[in-house]
Structure 1
Amino acid sequence: MSSPAQPASAALVAAPPFPEADRAAVYRAIHSRRDVRSQFTPRPVDDATLLRLLDAAHHAPSVGFMQPWNFIVIRDNGVKGRVQAAFAEANAEAATLFPAERRPLYSALKLEGITAAPVNLCVTCDRSRGGPVILGRTHAPEMDLYSTVCAVQNLWLAARAEGIGVGWVSIFREGALKRILNLPDQVVPVAYLCLGHVDELHAEPELQARGWRSRLPLEDLVFHDGWGQRDG
């Protein structure tokens, strides 16, 4: 009896550290990335640039190499208008959920750039992709959603390098985007993004600059070998 065929070994390539200038560029993109709502210019995003961003997103890691994402590019003003209306309805509800003393600041924040951005992008997760049993997802079914978020982050950092601002809009009633964009039952919207050229960005996250929240100290968030355990 012949033995089962063995899979071919995957080829390996060298993986040295990046040159210093390249490393600095990666960290610069991470540290200077901002959630953009009001700095979009009217300059259109050309197809070649958009394709590079989508390709960066498509090269994100995904558990079991499932690649559960799709990308819905939205330029139609009618679709944008329906999405903006869905946001406005949910945002009015959201304002009432905060303590009374925070509501004036909440209402003063601009939390979307849907109609101002030349391009909107809905990043979705197909929860049926790859079939019912997927390597790495057998005991953690939410890994397809987490993988899709990795694609969003890839796109966001690539956009920063291209001079493209990105804003994530998340204030929608459940099911609103599925209805507007005609998503199949097994497909869920993970991120609704606004994209456009920017000439300037906030020096720090806008919510921090406006006094909503501050960045937590890193040293308060790092434990060693178990929850709550500090080094030394």
Structure 2
Amino acid sequence: MSLPPRFTPEFHEDLSALLAWRRDVRRFRRGPVAEDVVAQLLATAQLAPSVGNSQPWRFVRVRSPGLREALIRHVDGEAARAGEAMPDPERRAAYGALKLHGLDHAPEVIAVFCDDATDIGGGLGAATMPQTREWSVVMAIHTLWLAARANGLGLGWVSIADPDTVTALSDVPQGWRFIALLCLGEPEEPHIVPELERLGWQARLDGGANVSER
């Protein structure tokens, strides 16, 4: 039996700083990320917990320029439609000023899927709540996010995408369900304050606002 490490107060401070500096990045420098760094980050992401130890995450690195261009066109179209649907003119104008993705210049683009058809884990923990596999994939994404920040890199989650369209464009096996489209690279300008907060779109809530007792 191996003994767990003892985490020092200095480590606790570093961990809090890492969590505070984990930002959703939209603006990246164009320099490539070293291949060994990408491989290590993806390996670290897979240390995340998963229901029944099913490890249902499937990472697809977008290397084809054609696929990247198709994803950009799709996301830009969805973003435009979302903006046009906003009834409030001021909100619509503010939305138009936001940079919603870095697909055009991020060094790495990664599509993440959940393998709903996996038999790994024997279905443990997912009989009554099958969505726990999806949540497991999100845990892996968050682990990747923190590992990237710890290595001086940023991650951006592109949320304006139609799952069926991205799945079809990616040509993945049947049974894989789209979860996220991620941009990875060195941030153009690292900020501890979220961009949406800096631009006046939405401030962070007080830490106790989402906590209640019953």
TM-score, scaled to structure 1: 0.87
Where 1:155 maps in the other structure, the secondary structure is helix
Q: Percent identity?
A: 36
* Cross-structure match for 2:30: 42
| CA distance in structure 2 between the partners assigned to 1:203 and 1:133 by the alignment | 41
* Cross-structure match for 1:116: 105
* Mapped contact 1:75–1:118 kept (Cα < 8 A): no
User: Offset of 1:133 from its aligned partner?
Assistant: 5.3
* Cross-structure match for 2:207: 218
Where 2:61 maps in the other structure, the secondary structure is strand
* Cross-structure match for 1:169: 158
Alignment of 1:1-232 (within 5 A): 12-15=1-4, 17-38=6-27, 40-98=28-86, 99-130=88-119, 134-198=123-187, 200-224=189-213, 226=214
Cα distance change on mapping 1:132 and 1:151 into 2, 3 Å: closer
* Mapped contact 1:120–1:194 kept (Cα < 8 A): yes
Runs of 4+ in 1 over 4 A off after TM superposition: none
* Mapped contact 2:20–2:192 kept (Cα < 8 A): no
| CA distance in structure 2 between the partners assigned to 1:76 and 1:182 by the alignment | 12
* Mapped contact 2:114–2:134 kept (Cα < 8 A): yes
Q: Which has the larger radius of gyration?
A: 1
Where 2:124 maps in the other structure, the secondary structure is coil
| CA distance in structure 2 between the partners assigned to 1:131 and 1:120 by the alignment | 27
| CA distance in structure 2 between the partners assigned to 1:24 and 1:51 by the alignment | 27
Partner amino acid for 1:54? L
Partner amino acid for 1:43? G
Q: Could you give the per-residue CA deviations for residues 9-53 of structure 1, whole angstroms, max 9, x where no partner exists?
A: xxx432354122222222211111111111x11211111100111
* Mapped contact 1:29–1:157 kept (Cα < 8 A): yes
Provide structure 1 residue ranges, at least 5 long, that are not aligned to the other structure: 1-11, 227-232
Provide structure 2 residue ranges, at least 5 long, that are not aligned to the other structure: none
| CA distance in structure 1 between the partners assigned to 2:77 and 2:113 by the alignment | 22
TM-score, scaled to structure 2: 0.94
Q: Could you give the per-residue CA deviations for residues 57-103 of structure 1, whole angstroms, max 9, x where no partner exists?
A: 11100010000011111133221111000001111111023222200
